[in-house]
Amino acid sequence: MPKQRLDALTDGVFAFAMTLLVISLDLPSDAQVTNAGQLLGLLAQLQDTLLVYVISFVVLGARWIRNAKDHGSETWCSYGYAWAVIIHLFFVTLIPFSTKLVGLYGEFWPAVCLYAANTILTALSSMRAADLLAKEEQEPKPLDARLDLTVLIVTALLSCALAFLAPGYSMYAYLLNAGSPFLRRALHRPHHGS
């Protein structure tokens, strides 16, 4: 049996298990939330479950890194980069929870701001992983991706701010991300002196 097939299966099982962990972060279906304070109280009830989620994710991430090290590869990366990717994937796996939260309670600022925080942390951890990889491979930092992620961070902050003023419209701030390609082109356009 080709070792790569077993490695792929192992990676898949770890990925699946890490992704399924987020199911444990579930809101009670019978919760009656009529204001932001009640939503914050509901989220506070999840703190123990969130702690177990974080611990489980870190344990699985550490086991996966150890497994990858033990089984070798022709291509290597540093532990720093591996952990940066694990941290990034942690925030990625929280996206279904924050999406559900904003879908159910988007009229309240805590839901919108938690979604924004998840988005920002996902973007920042992606930037960190990309920077570490570029350093390891002695390549320039991926500026286009950094620009796109910066726009995403700005729109997430804008969305959170709008949640206090016009909660029903706050998520529309993310539509500004559609402008990233135009901004990229404008920044790459050669400037001509007059």
Is 34 exposed, middle or buried, given 0-12, 13-18 or 19+ CB atoms closer than 10 A?
exposed
What pLDDT is recorded for position 1? 53
Average pLDDT over all residues of the chain = 87
The residue type at 49 = T
Q: Which of 73, 70, 85 has the alpha carbon at shortest distance from 18?
A: 85
What pLDDT is recorded for position 18? 87
Summarize pLDDT for 6-64 with one digit per residue, the tens. 678 878 888 888 888 888 888 887 888 999 999 999 999 999 999 999 999 999 988 88
Task: Judge contact between 148 and 180, C-beta under 8 A.
Answer: yes
Vertex 150: Cα angle to 86 and 171 (nearest 5): 95
Task: Judge contact between 111 and 101, C-beta under 8 A.
Answer: yes
What pLDDT is recorded for position 71? 66
Model confidence, pTM? 0.83
- 2 against 150, higher pLDDT: 150
What pLDDT is recorded for position 180? 84
Q: Using CA atoms, how far apart are residues 67 and 13, in angstroms rounded to an integer? A: 12
Residues 6+ apart with CB under 8 A from 84: 125, 128, 129, 132
Residue 73 has pLDDT above 70, yes or no: no
Q: Which two tokens stand for residue 167?
A: 């909660």
